Amino acid sequence: MELNASLDFDRRHIWHPYTSMTDPLPAYPVESASGVRIRLADGRELIDGMSSWWCAIHGYNHRELNKAARVQLERTAHVMFGGLTHEPAIELARSLIDITPDGLQHVFFSDSGSVSVEVAIKMAIQYWGAMDRPEKHRLLTIRGGYHGDTFGAMSVCDPVTGMHERFRRVLPQHIFLERPRSRVDEPLSTEDAERIETALGKHHGELAAVILEPVVQGAGGMWFYSAEYVARVAELCAELDVLLIADEIATGFGRTGRLFACEHANVEPDIMCLGKALTGGYMSLAATLTNTRVARGISADGGVLMHGPTFMANPLACAVARKSIDLLQAGPWRSRVGDFESQLQRELGAFREHAAVRDVRVFGAIGVVQTHEPVPVADLQRVFVERDVWIRPFADLIYLMPPYIMGADDLACLTSAIGAGLDTL
C-alpha cells in the first residue's frame, strides 16, 4: 500500500496511546532502526532519546539479541506455562534471582509491566488473607506515582493529577501521601519523615503493602526523591508488619546508576516488579519477584497465586531477556550512565535560567526539563524531528532516557534540540 494511503488508514483506524481518534497526534512512519537511530520511511534518521519508552537500553537491531531470538525461534516461539516449563524461563529466573536483592527467591513471569504490578498487588492481598488477616487489604503510596494502565495498577497511580483520574470512582480506594519533597541529593527532611511515620502508624492495621517507585517517579512526573525516604519506609514496614513493593519497571537494569534503584537506599523489598528493559526492548515481558515469606505464606495449605497470563514466560522473550542481562553485565553500563549524568547535568543545566523552564532534574541516565506550562506536544515534536532527534514530551516535561550505547555527540544533539524546542515556547 502506498505510504500516504497507509498513513491515512492509520489515522482513521488505529488508536495510538493516549490520543484521540478525532484529533490524533502525528505518527511518523518507521522503516527500520539500528543502534541509536530510527530511520523514517522518508529516509530521515532520528537519534532516539527515549529508548522506545525506556526499554531499548542496548539500542536497536543488536546482533547478539537478534541471534538469541533466531536461535530460540528455531526451537519454539511459544508454549503454555501451565504444566510445562522450559530452559529459557529457568535460566532467566536464575539470572534475575542472582542480580536482585538476596531475599527475592521466587519469580512470577507475566507479559507487561502493568500486569507485574497487578500480580504484586495480588501477592500482597493473598498473603494477608492466607495469614488470616483479611482486614489488611489496602495499599499506601505517594502522589505523583505511575504504576501502569490496568485497573489494579491504576488504583495506585495519582488519583488527582495522574492520567487515570477519570476512573477514580470505580477504582479501589487506597491511601495516598504527598510525595516527598526531599530531593534525590538531599537528606530526608523532618516533614517527610513525620508524614510517612504518621500515616503508617495510623493505617498499618489495614495495609497489605506500601508500593513505591524507588527514588525515581517515572511517568507520573519524573520526580527524583531522597533515598533516605525509601530507607525509612522500609524500616517502618518491617516494624509495623506491612509488605513493601518496589516498582522497578522504569528504574531497573541500571537506569539510575545502580542495577536497581532500591540499592541507593540499601533496601530489600518483599516484592519487586520488573519490565521495560528486561528484554532490551525486543518484546513485552515482565516479572514479579518475591521472598520466601510471601511465597510460602500464599502457598500454605494448598494455596495458589490466582494469576496466569496466556503468554507468561514466553520462551522467545525469555531467551532474549537472558541475553540482554548478559550484555548488560558484561558491558560498561555503570561508567556510561555516569558519563550521561555528567553531560546531562552540564548541558541541560544550561537551561535553568530559560524563561520557559521551571526546573531541571538529572539522575543517572535520566534528564528532565520541566516547563512552567504544559507543552504543545505535536508542535514540539515537529521541532525535534526537524532537528533529526526523537524526543517525546508529555504534560510539562521534556525528558531524555537514552540507550546506554549512545555517544557524547549524539547526546549533545538531543540536549541541543531541547534548547531549540524551549525557544519556541
All structural domains of the chain with their residue ranges: 3-61+332-422, 76-330
- Does 386 score more than 80 pLDDT? yes
pLDDT digits (tens, 9 = 90+) for 102-136: 999 999 999 999 999 999 999 999 999 999 999 99
User: Is 146 marked active-site?
Assistant: yes
* pLDDT given for residue 397 in this prediction: 98
The residue to which cell 534475575 is assigned: 96
pLDDT digits (tens, 9 = 90+) for 27-67: 999 999 999 999 999 999 999 999 999 999 999 999 999 99
Cα separation of 313 and 25, whole Å? 34
Q: Return the sign of the alpha-carbon dihedral for residues 142, 148, 151, 152.
A: negative
The percentage of residues in the chain with a pLDDT greater than 70, rounded to a whole number, is: 100
pLDDT digits (tens, 9 = 90+) for 265-281: 999 999 999 999 999 99
User: Is 98 marked active-site?
Assistant: no
User: Is 136 marked active-site?
Assistant: no
Which residue out of 247, 323, 399, 410 is catalytically annotated? 247
CB-CB neighbours of 135 under 10 Å:
12
For residues 358-381, give the mean pLDDT.
97
**Burial of 206: CB neighbours in 10 Å, binned 0-12, 13-18, 19+:** middle
User: Is 28 marked active-site?
Assistant: no
Which residue out of 127, 149, 229, 276 is catalytically annotated? 276
Contact 287, 72 (CB under 8 A): no
Residue type, position 5, single letter? A
Cα separation of 262 and 253, whole Å? 11
- Does 1 score more than 80 pLDDT? no
Would you say how long the chain is, in residues?
425
Q: What is the dihedral of CA 317, 322, 324, 327, to 10 degrees?
A: -160
pTM across the whole model: 0.97
Task: Give the residue from 97, 184, 161 showing the smallest Cα distance to 396.
Answer: 161
Rounded to whole angstroms, what are the CA distances from 215 to 146, 223, 239?
13, 8, 21
Contact 276, 252 (CB under 8 A): yes
Which fold is adopted by the domain 3-61+332-422? Aspartate Aminotransferase, domain 1 (3.90.1150)
Which residue out of 146, 225, 229, 404 is catalytically annotated? 146
Contact 58, 280 (CB under 8 A): yes
Which fold is adopted by the domain 76-330? Aspartate Aminotransferase; domain 2 (3.40.640)
Contact 54, 253 (CB under 8 A): no
Which residue out of 8, 18, 202, 241 is catalytically annotated? 18
